[in-house]
Amino acid sequence: MFGNGGAYVVGQGATGFLLGTAGFKFGERLSERVVGCGLEARSDGKEARFPMESSPFEASSTLSRLHVTPSLNVLLAVTRAGDDILFELPRRDGAQDQLAGRLVVYLDQNKWSEISNAFHTPSKVSEASRSAAEKLVQWVVEGGIVLPASAGHYSETTKRFDTTKRYSLGLTVLKHSRGWQMRDALQTRRDEIHDGFCQRSGQLTKVRSAPVFTLSPDALYSSTARGMQHYAAPTTFEPAQAFATEALVSATVSIDTMLDTERIEPGPDTGWADSNQRFSDWLDEQDLDSQQKRKAIDAFLLSDISAELAEEAHAAALPVDDFHRWILNEAADDIRSFPALGLFREMLHNRHLNKGTKWRPNDLTDMVYLSCAAGYADFVVCERHMRDPLTHGLRRMGLKTQVYRHLAEAVDAIEEALAAP
């Protein structure tokens, strides 16, 4: 992965900065690295080279070069196999919406795999899937849509055992997400709770309202929700310089982590699936009507997110008495108005109300990320077992996100949306 020497600053007025190594021979296997140099090129044709005594990349990294073009606000990463990855970089001023009217299309992990197969092993997918994948990529290049990556995609991809398939899938996600990411779903839920409490406490200056689909550095993993410690530029840097450095490090680490030759082991089992299975089994045995069961499920959900609720109530300066009143009388109605958490609640209701539901450890990942995506994206494409409860929840909440099971179906709908005024 990216080594400690991997933070590089592009000076104002520079048109490009190249960090790389020399002496590559691309072939079936990755070439050995030799020490290279940094190159800064200006618009007047002058260049400055910076020798490096050691490679900025770890031995397991698949990266060979990084090329930053400030005038275009992009990062180009080149792998040792010769593959190019272009990332858009965030703007510090925030004055311009970088989404710029593009439609947001969120793909579940298995749909990314389908696109990867369409380009790397086309015999594994149908002609319809290949055609749909080509159209999606074309619309990304033309600026009609974005295909954001999430922390769930990184987790699912990097834990795969087959190195070649992991590289192909990771490359597909990186090349076509182009740096666009979905803010950590757990943080998005916290922000919804926090901003709802701010409305109640009158602390409107504390409202976060952070965009869910973003290029912002380190939005992929939340420091609050996950206890992550993100890279911070030296305090001696000017604000613009610090922001550029943090954005470059965040983008490069994302690329490098996804494509690293070493598999990342999955984390420990949280016991979430077992807990939901016990609750589902208990609920199946109760002589209750659907509304009574929904209240029981709400109580189960509030217990599950109790720490998040308490912490965000405190952050929003909500008085303790008001918080207690909210828990007892108003929580369900408020959560129903939160796009991500409200959809998660609806999916939880749907699954627990179906007798005989079997819970799998991966259900948590699917529900958390898909509910967040569907709460804010224009289109979501996912497997049937998640599409049905998601569509049901969207209908109950009055949200307009379109959810599809097949890429080809989604492409037809996206094409129609792109053609609309």
- Give the residue extent of every domain in the chain: 97-232+265-421
- The arithmetic mean of pLDDT across residues 382-405, rounded, is 95
- The arithmetic mean of pLDDT across residues 25-35, rounded, is 35
- What pTM does this model have? 0.88
Residue 344 above 70 pLDDT?
yes
- Of 212-216, 219-223, 244-248, 283-287, give the lowest mean pLDDT range: 219-223
Higher pLDDT, 170 or 421: 170
| Buried b / exposed e along 355-368 (16+ C-beta atoms within 10 A) | eebebeeebebbbb
CA dihedral sign, ordered 171, 172, 178, 180: negative
Please tell me the distance from the alpha carbon of residue 232 to that of residue 227, in angstroms, as a whole number.
Answer: 15
Please state the length of the chain. Answer: 421
The residue type found at 81 is A
Return the closest-CA partner of residue 19 out of 48, 40, 3, 1. 40
pLDDT mean across residues, the chain: 87
Higher pLDDT, 222 or 322: 322
Q: Which two tokens stand for residue 281?
A: 């089994």
pLDDT at 226: 78
Residue 3 above 70 pLDDT?
no
Residue 164 above 90 pLDDT?
yes
Provide the β-strand partners of residue 14.
42
Return the closest-CA partner of residue 394 out of 415, 376, 410, 409. 376
CA dihedral sign, ordered 311, 313, 314, 316: positive
Residue 31 above 70 pLDDT?
no
Return the closest-CA partner of residue 340 out of 189, 163, 194. 189
pLDDT at 9: 34
Q: Which two tokens stand for residue 377?
A: 């994206």
Residue 72 above 50 pLDDT?
yes
Look up tokens 């800064």; give the residue: 40
CB half-sphere exposure, 299, CA atoms < 13 A: 9
- Of 52-61, 63-72, 297-306, 373-382, give the lowest mean pLDDT range: 52-61
Sheet holding 402-404, edge to edge: 145-146, 103-107, 379-381, 402-404
- Of 8-12, 163-167, 396-400, give the lowest mean pLDDT range: 8-12
CA dihedral sign, ordered 47, 233, 221, 159: positive
pLDDT at 421: 80
